[in-house]
Copies of this chain bind each other. A is one copy, B any other.
């Protein structure tokens, strides 16, 4: 017997039929002798519909009320799913975030989990019940409903899995797992059977949308094995774990995956996957006086505007070494704020020109084996050069190299690099089944 936490996103419970399919899977897992905790998102478009109604009332909704409003979506889906599981003869009960003991701070809309007290959930599964928990929500010390922000249901699931010492946290979505690149861009992308938490973090942080960064961070911190898979098929998905899987899971996990998982501890893959990101813009501050402290001041001003900068390059023209150009990338939604703040400080900063370019793309190559293999960047730049693609900014971590290209070159860049590193599978593996949840 294993304790399994299953998380189903909005697309997995988009309508009554999908809900029944999920219930059947939950019942099947339970009937195989496992303890099951289910975390569920709001059905399909529920959240967007609620946001839309609110926007007809006000453009300035109090955060507290918005959180109570949005939390209704998961309460609806959790109670319907519980009914559907009971209908199959498997005892189940639904629990709100508060009832599941998910304690958060009071930052409405992006609350952080500060404590997990899942007493009722522990009791329910001990009593042989399936516990169905509303994702995305918690309760503050003032007893107000909070929501966890983007990726909140993934985070709920991983946090519950950690608190309950679950053997695995299964993240159900509308694709078969993590792929070596986005299958919509690289049809020959292959499904990853296993990947380390660090690599997943890098992929998630640099544009891969399959799992939310916060949930992966949580999984790493508390060492929760994740299994990302599709709710629309029975296929094995991708295991994200730094430790051997529980042998009790043998019935659930094909032996090959377990073997591969063990193996991974011995030899790390050179390259796991390629993430891409279209959501960043680029700002260049040209002709900044080349004096100590000027660059720091620019980033201070941008930070005070609440903008997170990603990549940075400083470049001093050979022709005039008294002036520098500073280029950085940032989330597209923050660009106007950053531009306004810089323009307002033009007198102080004494720069000559602000340039703004929204048409950039970022490609990130991620692999734990990079640590010990110095040839990776040469191979990357070679492949891009051969494809006639110019590189703009570059940044690296121990297990990642990211480059910025023109937006129109991004897809081609991903394809070229995928092929160059021998990641193409012999056949098209990827199927995308539906929309995408939260």
Spell out A's residues near B (CB within 8 Å): 16, 19-20, 50, 53-54, 56-58, 60-62, 64-66, 68-69, 71-72, 75-76, 78-80, 82-84, 86-87, 93-94, 96, 98-99, 120, 143-145
Is B87 touching A68 in the complex (CB atoms < 8 A)? no
Smallest beta-carbon distance A80→chain B, Å: 6
Is A93 touching B69 in the complex (CB atoms < 8 A)? no
Q: Which residues of B contact A54 (CB under 8 A)?
A: 80, 83
Is B80 touching A72 in the complex (CB atoms < 8 A)? no
Q: Which residues of B contact A94 (CB under 8 A)?
A: 64-65, 68
Closest B-chain residue to A43, C-beta based?
A: B53
Q: Which of B72, B82, B120 contacts A75 (CB 8 A)?
A: B72
Q: Which residues of B contact A68 (CB under 8 A)?
A: 75, 78-79, 94, 96
Smallest beta-carbon distance A346→chain B, Å: 36
Smallest beta-carbon distance A209→chain B, Å: 28
Is B69 touching A72 in the complex (CB atoms < 8 A)? no
Is B75 touching A58 in the complex (CB atoms < 8 A)? no
Q: Which residues of B contact A144 (CB under 8 A)?
A: 99
Is B76 touching A72 in the complex (CB atoms < 8 A)? yes
Is A65 touching B53 in the complex (CB atoms < 8 A)? no
**Which of A19, A57, A78, A93 is most buried by chain B, counting CB atoms within 10 A of its CB?**
A57
A408 to B51: give the CA distance in the assembly, Å: 49
A432 to B184: give the CA distance in the assembly, Å: 56
Q: Which of B16, B57, B76 contacts A83 (CB 8 A)?
A: B57
Is B99 touching A143 in the complex (CB atoms < 8 A)? yes
Smallest beta-carbon distance A393→chain B, Å: 42
A75 to B71: give the CA distance in the assembly, Å: 9
**Which of A66, A69, A93 is most buried by chain B, counting CB atoms within 10 A of its CB?**
A69
A82 to B57: give the CA distance in the assembly, Å: 10
A56 to B50: give the CA distance in the assembly, Å: 22
Smallest beta-carbon distance A101→chain B, Å: 11
Q: Which residues of B contact A61 (CB under 8 A)?
A: 83, 86
Is B65 touching A75 in the complex (CB atoms < 8 A)? no
Is A69 touching B62 in the complex (CB atoms < 8 A)? no
Q: Which residues of B contact A66 (CB under 8 A)?
A: 79, 83
Is A58 touching B87 in the complex (CB atoms < 8 A)? yes
14 A-B residue pairs with Cβ-Cβ distance under 8 Å, sorted by A, are: A16-B57, A53-B80, A54-B83, A57-B80, A57-B84, A58-B84, A61-B83, A62-B86, A68-B78, A69-B79, A69-B80, A72-B75, A72-B76, A98-B143
Is B58 touching A79 in the complex (CB atoms < 8 A)? no
Q: A20-B57, A53-B16 are in contact. Are A83 and B71 (CB under 8 A)?
A: no
**3 tightest CB-CB pairs across the interface, nearest first?**
A69-B79, A58-B87, A72-B72
A46 to B84: give the CA distance in the assembly, Å: 20
Closest B-chain residue to A73, C-beta based?
A: B72
A327 to B143: give the CA distance in the assembly, Å: 54
Q: Which residues of B contact A80 (CB under 8 A)?
A: 53-54, 57, 65, 69
A60 to B56: give the CA distance in the assembly, Å: 37
Is A93 touching B65 in the complex (CB atoms < 8 A)? yes
Closest B-chain residue to A91, C-beta based?
A: B62
A83 to B93: give the CA distance in the assembly, Å: 32
Q: Which residues of B contact A78 (CB under 8 A)?
A: 68
Q: A57-B20, A96-B68 are in contact. Are A62 and B83 (CB under 8 A)?
A: yes
A80 to B20: give the CA distance in the assembly, Å: 30
Is B96 touching A82 in the complex (CB atoms < 8 A)? no
A237 to B264: give the CA distance in the assembly, Å: 76
Is A75 touching B79 in the complex (CB atoms < 8 A)? no
Is B99 touching A57 in the complex (CB atoms < 8 A)? no
Is B84 touching A76 in the complex (CB atoms < 8 A)? no
Is B86 touching A65 in the complex (CB atoms < 8 A)? yes
Smallest beta-carbon distance A131→chain B, Å: 12
Is A83 touching B56 in the complex (CB atoms < 8 A)? no
Smallest beta-carbon distance A241→chain B, Å: 34
Smallest beta-carbon distance A227→chain B, Å: 27
A145 to B78: give the CA distance in the assembly, Å: 13
